[in-house]
Amino acid sequence: MRRRVAASLLVIERNLGEGLPATSEDIRSVGFPWVTGGYDYEEVDDFLERSARIINAYERSLPIAEQVTAKPFKPLTSDETAGLAFTVVFRGYNLKEVDRFINRVSGTLYACETGRPSPLVDASEVARKVFSISMRGYAEQEVDELLDRAAETIGRFESDFRRQSETGTGF
């Protein structure tokens, strides 16, 4: 795993334009047995988590066609974001940062659903968003999956608004 992580980080750093040897999902799902006298498990966990966050941000910045894990698209609605409850874990995304950003995303979705483009947040900002890690934070994978859906949904709304303004059928 160490070599695959290092190779993935090198691909990102040098912008080599090739597939990643290890995805953020690979890194987050790896487990190692406890060994007496082995590596400091907190340092290993910290390294893997930082690597997964960097690779995940890179994966989310790729055009949809190039993303590592292609999942069927399910649009996100403002109603879904209103009653949202992420799992709280020992170490995860900072609660306040996520809540503030999700409120902006929710406002943007609501504006888009009601036919108005919104200046609160755009798809590229959602795709690039990275949160700090804190004790007692939100489960990162849950937040990342929601942000992926939000970026895709807002991106589609933005395309529709652009198309309508270019053809004169909308704004």
Which pLDDT band holds residue 10 (cuts at 50, 70, 90)?
low
- Phi and psi angles of residue 158, each rounded to the nearest 5 degrees, phi first: -60, -40
At residue 171, the pLDDT reads 47
On whether the CB atoms of residues 121 and 104 are closer than 8 A, the answer is yes
pTM: 0.58
How many whole angstroms separate alpha carbon 70 and alpha carbon 61?
A: 14
Which one has a higher pLDDT value, 164 or 10?
164
Q: Quick: pLDDT tens for 82-136.
A: 888 999 999 899 999 999 999 999 999 999 899 887 778 998 899 889 999 999 9
At 143, the amino acid letter reads: V
Helix, strand, coil share of the chain (percent; to 5): 60, 5, 35
